[in-house]
């Protein structure tokens, strides 16, 4: 019988594992709750009406059209790592010889009151659509029922790349589009606030880039509040630990993540943020047949940032290790190549940090950001559509994706 | 006080009225339940994963960005034609001096059992997304739980342009995309059936075009059943009046429409299909301040087909009449210019009928169809995106919009 590989999660990591096994003498099954791969770094563009869902989501079966990967659109309900069986909510349990867990992370509220009830996460396509709908609904509400304090205001909890990019994109949406769409509303007075617990936004970036990002945000009329944590979230108000209260009908939670719940199904001791602890070759110690990659995994000796590159490179590495084992060879340790980091603050402005310490900011940083994201977006068609959409947004200051709840009933 | 015009419905007609009043000495309020205009003739492309929702929907406020039209996204709950007041489910009642009802039609089951419960209408963007999700879910179901009779089969009730275009688009989706996506399933054996009560599909078209359309559908493995009505619809089965039973997990209802319920709020006697009876100038007899246009209206002496052109031309006409009245002049009768009719059966095949009786079929008919729809699509960006999507679909036989329930929760 052929060696059976089950991959949980069709994100950056899982896709790369499956691709890396093409042509190998294995049966590959890819399990994901959705039938599409999500280009997560651009979720904020969907939330701010710059791109549509199709532009950043690609059907999994379309990716593996010409290769024999079995796709199962289902949720994992149980994992028996002794019997080597993965159970899902649809279909027969899947027996495996090698299991790769690449399920990523979910939004985490750190036990802060009211986050789950009143704040909107930004981790999935449906989250992004929900934020877009919520925002546009607030504007319609203000236009019909009149303005209320905080009605058009947004507080973004978390000043990492997601929070910063969301704030920049949102301010552009407000200034360039919604101000024209709603001439009757005081859109220019709407407050967009980023709250970051650390002493500056973009923790992990070089200090001068962090300062520049904060200065750019402030120059673009985004309030940047640093060095203070969120105490609790109520309907329409965010309370900070220093007692300040920020009124906002829209609260976006980009402050933290934890491992996807599937990690708990393994029945092993987990690391920080509930992540799966892996050894140098990305397998779980004591379980050479069990690998974990990307955001859901952590090698305590070499912790990596929870961004796309570790998942992509980890996925390629694990595929190579599975092949080595089939050839009777030992696994090799994973060597991560830092390719730098990037965050865009909107039109003509991004900060880029190269692994050698060089940095790039402003228009050239933005062009670098643009090119890289186009290259990494899956599928030629999406790339072309994204280019058309971005060119249109750039040239006209318009955004066409601002449809309110198109999946609601009539 | 300025003359107040309230327009109900932001479809082809309502948009043209508002546009036609630009620069006139009037206050215009456009009321629609959605914040976007829908390009209805291409709904079937969303349902068959060829285009995404954004491609055929355009934000209403974006259309009237540089002109002072008030937009209210709300449902009409009452109309008092004596006091001249329109009430909506959000905001204060709207007083009017002239009211234009352009709310279109809704799907109608003619009292046939089970249609409301088991058949999917195709009248709105959300309907189209629901059909797409339902279809893809059937395929996932078959892949995981195994095949059942009728699981991948589709019955389309109604052989007008919507039914024919839906059948053609669906067969292409099955043959070119889903057969590759689901190599484990007998996709080629899936039956797609169009049921038409009349003795041939496309009632209203020239006989030889109707025969050609039916022949093309059959050649492309679509079953065409004519001269028989649908008796009732149950879960997974359509029963015809002649006793035949067609098993199909997916039933699309494209057999008929009636006037949108807003017509009933007027409290006047209605015509066929619940449509608002209008006189030669498109105003309601006895109510010169009340106009109705498009699918929701009918002039019994000059009934027009329920397609885009009568709505577009009617909208322009009504805007001109309102201007005439403001100038103290009498209204003129509406003169409809027939621009012909069109239906596409998919790739390289469409039938076109010109008003002088000329007809066009096959590849040239298809190119004419393509060009016309691009010209009429609202907004340059959408047109460009649609062109990119269509070119991609045409060249690669792929379809990128096949995301399953992207607005569902994780």
Beta bridge partners of A257: A107
B61 in reach of chain A (CB within 8 A):
yes
Name the 3-class secondary structure at B14: helix
Q: Which residue of B has its CA nearest to A51?
A: B54
Q: Give the mean model confidence (pLDDT) for residues B56-68.
A: 84
Shortest alpha-carbon distance between residue B398 and chain A (Å): 8
Q: How many residues does chain B have?
A: 410
Q: Residue A402 pLDDT more than 80?
A: no
Answer yes or no: are the C-beta atoms of A77 and A345 closer than 8 Å. no
Please name the residues between 20 and 39 in chain B that touch chain A, using a CB distance below 8 Å. 33-36
Alpha helix positions (H), A220-353: 308-326
Answer yes or no: are the C-beta atoms of A357 and A342 closer than 8 Å. no
Q: Residue A410 pLDDT more than 50?
A: no
Q: Residue B268 pLDDT more than 60?
A: yes
Q: Which residues of A203-214 are buried (b: 16+ CB within 10 A; e: fewer)?
A: eebeeebbebbb
Q: Give the mean model confidence (pLDDT) for residues B299-328.
A: 95
Q: What is the pLDDT of residues B188-212, one digit of tens each?
A: 999 999 999 999 999 989 999 999 9
Position A382 scores a pLDDT of: 63
Q: Which of B251, B275, B272, B254 is nearest to B263 (CA)?
A: B275
Answer yes or no: are the C-beta atoms of B144 and A90 closer than 8 Å. yes
Lowest-confidence region among A78-82, A376-380, B238-242, B342-346: A376-380
For chain B, the helix, strand and coil percentages under 3-state DSSP, each to the nearest 5: 35, 25, 40
Instruction: Name every residue whose Cβ is closer than 8 Å to that of residue B398 and which is 6 or more positions away in sequence.
Output: A62, A381, B176, B177, B392
Shortest alpha-carbon distance between residue A222 and chain B (Å): 25
Q: Residue B375 pLDDT more than 80?
A: no
Chosen from A51, A403, A409 to mutate, greatest number of chain B CBs within 10 A: A403
Lowest-confidence region among A322-326, A327-331, A378-382, B10-14: A378-382
Please name the residues between 132 and 151 in chain B that touch chain A, using a CB distance below 8 Å. 136, 140-141, 143-145
B103 in reach of chain A (CB within 8 A):
no
Q: Domains along chain B?
A: 3-33+74-107+257-326 (3.50.50.60), 115-255+340-396 (3.50.50.100)
Is B219 buried (19+), middle (13-18) or exposed (0-12) by CB count in 10 A?
A: exposed
The encoded tokens of residue A60 equal 């999994």
Chosen from A122, A393, A407 to mutate, greatest number of chain B CBs within 10 A: A407
Which carries the bigger pLDDT value, residue A123 or residue A399? A123
Position B176 scores a pLDDT of: 86
Position B386 scores a pLDDT of: 73
B59 in reach of chain A (CB within 8 A):
yes
Residues of B annotated as catalytic are 165
The encoded tokens of residue A115 equal 């986050």
Residues of A with CB below 8 A from B28's CB? none
Q: Residue B397 pLDDT more than 70?
A: no
């Amino acid at each position: 019988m052929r060696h059976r590989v089950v991959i949980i999660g069709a994100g950056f990591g899982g896709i790369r594992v499956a691709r890396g096994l093409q042509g190998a003498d294995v049966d590959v099954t890819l399990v994901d709750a959705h039938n599409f791969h999500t280009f997560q770094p651009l979720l904020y563009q969907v939330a701010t009406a710059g791109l549509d869902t199709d532009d950043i989501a690609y059907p999994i079966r379309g990716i593996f059209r010409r290769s024999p990967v079995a796709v199962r659109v289902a949720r994992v309900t149980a994992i028996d790592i002794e019997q080597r069986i993965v159970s899902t909510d649809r279909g027969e349990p899947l027996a495996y010889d090698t299991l790769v867990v690449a399920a990523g992370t979910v939004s985490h509220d750190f036990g802060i009151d009211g986050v789950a009830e009143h704040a909107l996460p930004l981790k999935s396509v449906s989250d992004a659509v929900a934020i877009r709908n919520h925002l546009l609904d607030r504007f319609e509400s203000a236009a019909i029922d009149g303005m209320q304090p905080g009605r058009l205001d947004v507080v973004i909890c978390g000043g990492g790349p997601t929070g910063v990019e969301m704030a920049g994109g949102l301010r552009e949406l407000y200034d360039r589009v919604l101000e024209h769409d709603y001439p009757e509303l005081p859109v220019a007075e709407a407050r967009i606030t980023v709250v970051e617990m650390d002493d500056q936004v973009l923790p992990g970036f070089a200090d001068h880039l962090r300062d520049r990002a904060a200065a750019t945000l402030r120059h673009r009329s985004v309030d940047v509040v640093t060095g203070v944590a969120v105490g609790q979230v109520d309907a329409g108000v965010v309370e900070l630990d220093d007692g300040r209260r920020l009124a906002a009908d829209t609260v976006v939670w980009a402050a933290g993540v934890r491992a996807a719940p599937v990690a708990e199904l393994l029945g092993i001791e987990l690391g920080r943020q509930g992540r799966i602890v892996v050894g140098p070759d990305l397998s779980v110690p004591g379980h050479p047949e069990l690998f974990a990659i990307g955001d859901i995994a952590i090698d305590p000796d070499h912790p990596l940032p929870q961004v796309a590159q570790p998942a992509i490179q980890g996925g390629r590495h694990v595929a190579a290790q599975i092949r080595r084992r089939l050839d009777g060879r030992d696994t090799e340790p994973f060597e991560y190549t830092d390719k730098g980091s990037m965050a865009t603050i909107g039109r003509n402005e991004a900060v880029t940090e190269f692994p050698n310490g060089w940095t790039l900011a402003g228009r050239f940083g933005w062009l670098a950001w643009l090119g890289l994201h186009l290259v990494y977006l899956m599928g030629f068609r999406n790339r072309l559509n994204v280019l058309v959409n971005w060119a249109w947004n750039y040239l006209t200051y318009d955004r066409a994706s601002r449809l309110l709840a198109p999946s609601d009933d009539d």
